[in-house]
Amino acid sequence: MSVAVVAGGGIAGILSALLLSESERFKKIILIEKNDVLGGLLNSSVTEEGYSFDCGTHLLGETGILELDELLLKDVMNDWKLISPLKVSTYFNGTIQHEGPCIDARLIDEPLYYKGVVELLNSKPVEEGRIDNLADQLVMEYGQTFADELFARTIKKLFNTTADQLIPGAHELFVPRRIKILAEHISAELKGSPYLDSKIAFHQIVDQRRSYYPHSGGIGQWISILEDRLRRNGIEVILNDHIRQVVHENGKVRAVRTSTEEIALDQLVWSIPPGILYKMVKQDGTVKMPKIRKVKLFHFVFDAPFNCDCAYLNNYDQTFSSFRITFYANMNSEHNGYRCTVEVLFSDDHCDIRAETIVDELKRMQVLKDLSNLLYCKTEELPTGFPLLTKQYVNELNEQVSYINQNFNNVLMVGKSNGSGFFLNDVLINTYHSVKELG
Ligand SMILES: Cc1cc2nc3c(=O)[nH]c(=O)nc-3n(C[C@H](O)[C@H](O)[C@H](O)COP(=O)(O)OP(=O)(O)OC[C@H]3O[C@@H](n4cnc5c(N)ncnc54)[C@H](O)[C@@H]3O)c2cc1C
């Protein structure tokens, strides 16, 4: 009997197990998750008072792959709230804007702004591979002024390091690459040039992709639906355990050892950090754990509606601690207070920013009415977060992934940890193609 073991029960592991169960190839599929619930960064909690909050990703969006959308969304498309267009606001240099996630260069002081526009319009395309780090990329692509005034401080806030320490493109983990400049009709015209189009944003950005969110409760309901499907498809789900060792010979992983048993296998799907497997299979495999920007979540309930109708607000302003704010009250129809979650990034062992500071920031951004009262507050620090995309981290990750790929022909790596994509749809699409290729 052929057996597939899937390590990690986040969405990449869940999707892998579902896809494997639909092919005839494996008679038995076992999913192993170290926590007591599946879902990883797609989870929700409900408080005693009945307030629900998510802990990572919030919305489900169509991937554009029919079979995948049918598999993942068929149970939610009709029952959940359709959110289209998706409204995103920004806060930068003391100003809130409601027209999409891009930074508006017109918010910096005038002489600098015009200097920046001239530099940007005079910049030249750079040959791929010629740029070594993000600082150089930003100067070459946007000019020194916008690199300093728009990106440098935002990057310091979000990564807690300088752009020269990061790989090119690292900022796109948090900040869109396009910026708003000039009058709307002029920038629309400039976007006729493919080179400028890659840097200049439309002023009104309307995300027309179809996204879904439950009418009440949180995104964790999706995981419950999928978990049900896993069990109906006969997949064995092991919770609260993890792989401690692997048994391997002749270019194959033959078995995994958990704390209670040894499971023989024909195929291993690995959706957790490659470094864990690398350390197990490589004799001298020392692995430095990647630096992570950790996330503290502030879950709030207020007694009055917010002053905005967006689903998200991205706060790029370096004088604020808050980064992304999710307004559940604008995404579903629950009527027990006005809920939001504020994400704060930090690097130390512990984040000592207090809830009062964040409530004050919401008021300063004017998303909260002055007379709003806080009804409920809960904070949590996530056990994971955003990778600090330094050159060293990416080199080490690539080395681990290629070592495993070169030495084992029955291990498939999927998920956000292997560096092939961080965001939900990238993870779903990459996982779909990789597992399908197994046949
Ligand atoms: C704060 C935050 C907000 C985000 N917001 C968005 C967003 O708005 N939009 C978006 O598209 N993406 C967002 N993302 C990214 C998105 O959450 C990921 O793309 C997606 O969750 C990745 O799924 P995954 O299965 O690869 O990883 P994970 O969700 O991390 O799942 C990995 C699973 O493996 C388990 N595991 C780990 N080690 C072991 C082990 N040794 N043995 C067994 N199990 C193990 C973990 O417990 C976890 O359940 C966000 C990420 C973060 C951190």
Q: For ligand 1, what atom is nearest to the CA of residue 427? A: 19
CA distance readout (Å), 94 to 69, 97, 202, 319, 320: 40, 10, 21, 9, 10
Is the confidence at residue 289, as pLDDT, over 90? no
Q: For ligand 1, what atom is nearest to the CA of residue 416? A: 26
Q: 416 C-alpha vs ligand 1 centroid, how far in Å?
A: 7
Average pLDDT over residues 11-16: 98
Q: 32 C-alpha vs ligand 1 centroid, how far in Å?
A: 15
Residue nearest to atom 5 of ligand 1 (CA): 57
Sign of CA dihedral 19, 21, 23, 25: positive
Average pLDDT over residues 39-51: 94
Q: 42 C-alpha vs ligand 1 centroid, how far in Å?
A: 7
Q: Which region holds residue 298: left if phi is over 0, alpha if psi is between -120 and 50, else beta?
A: beta
What percentage of the chain carries pLDDT values higher than 90? 84
Q: For ligand 1, what atom is nearest to the CA of residue 415? A: 26
Q: For the chain, how many helices (H) and strands (E)?
A: 13, 22
From CA 392, how far away is CA 390, in angstroms rounded? 5
Is the confidence at residue 283, as pLDDT, over 80? no
Residue nearest to atom 53 of ligand 1 (CA): 385
Which residues line ligand 1 at a C-beta cut-off of 6 Å? 7-13, 32-35, 40-42, 56-58, 242-243, 271-272, 276, 295, 343, 382, 384-386, 415-416, 422-425, 427
- Rounded to two decimals, the ipTM of the complex is 0.99
pLDDT tier at 348, thresholds 50, 70, 90: confident
> What fold, for 83-87+292-387?
Polyamine Oxidase; Chain A, domain 2 (3.90.660)
**pLDDT value, residue 343:** 98
Kindly report the average pLDDT of the chain as a whole number: 93
**pLDDT value, residue 72:** 93
Residue nearest to atom 31 of ligand 1 (CA): 10
Residue nearest to atom 41 of ligand 1 (CA): 242
Q: 272 C-alpha vs ligand 1 centroid, how far in Å?
A: 9
Residue nearest to atom 40 of ligand 1 (CA): 242
Is the confidence at residue 285, as pLDDT, over 70? no
Is the confidence at residue 44, as pLDDT, over 90? yes
Please check whether the two domains, 3-52+65-76+215-289+389-438 and 83-87+292-387, share a CATH topology: no
Q: 237 C-alpha vs ligand 1 centroid, how far in Å?
A: 18
**pLDDT value, residue 431:** 98
Q: 35 C-alpha vs ligand 1 centroid, how far in Å?
A: 12
Domain segments of the chain: what residues? 3-52+65-76+215-289+389-438, 83-87+292-387, 103-197
From CA 435, how far away is CA 67, in angstroms rounded? 13
CB 322 within 8 A of CB 343: yes
**pLDDT value, residue 207:** 64
Q: Which residue has the higher pLDDT, 413 or 209?
A: 413
Residue nearest to atom 1 of ligand 1 (CA): 56
Residue nearest to atom 2 of ligand 1 (CA): 56
The DSSP code for 371 is T
Give the three-state DSSP class for 103. strand
Average pLDDT over residues 328-353: 90
Q: For ligand 1, what atom is nearest to the CA of residue 343? A: 1
Which CATH entry fits the domain spanning 3-52+65-76+215-289+389-438: 3.50.50.60, 3.30.230.10, 1.10.150.120, 1.10.10.10? 3.50.50.60
Q: For ligand 1, what atom is nearest to the CA of residue 242? A: 42
* pLDDT tens profile 231-278: 999 999 999 999 999 999 999 999 999 999 999 999 999 999 999 999
Q: 10 C-alpha vs ligand 1 centroid, how far in Å?
A: 6
Is the confidence at residue 286, as pLDDT, over 90? no
Specify the DSSP element, H or E, that contains 399: helix 391-407
- The least confident of 47-56, 97-106, 126-135, 410-419 is 126-135
- The least confident of 88-102, 329-343, 399-413 is 329-343
CB 339 within 8 A of CB 50: no
Q: For ligand 1, what atom is nearest to the CA of residue 13? A: 25
Top mutation candidate among 16, 41, 245 for ligand 1, by most atoms within 8 Å of CB: 41
Count CB neighbours of 86 within 10 A.
20
CB 312 within 8 A of CB 326: yes
Average pLDDT over residues 105-110: 96
Is the confidence at residue 131, as pLDDT, over 80? yes
Residue nearest to atom 32 of ligand 1 (CA): 10
Residue nearest to atom 22 of ligand 1 (CA): 416
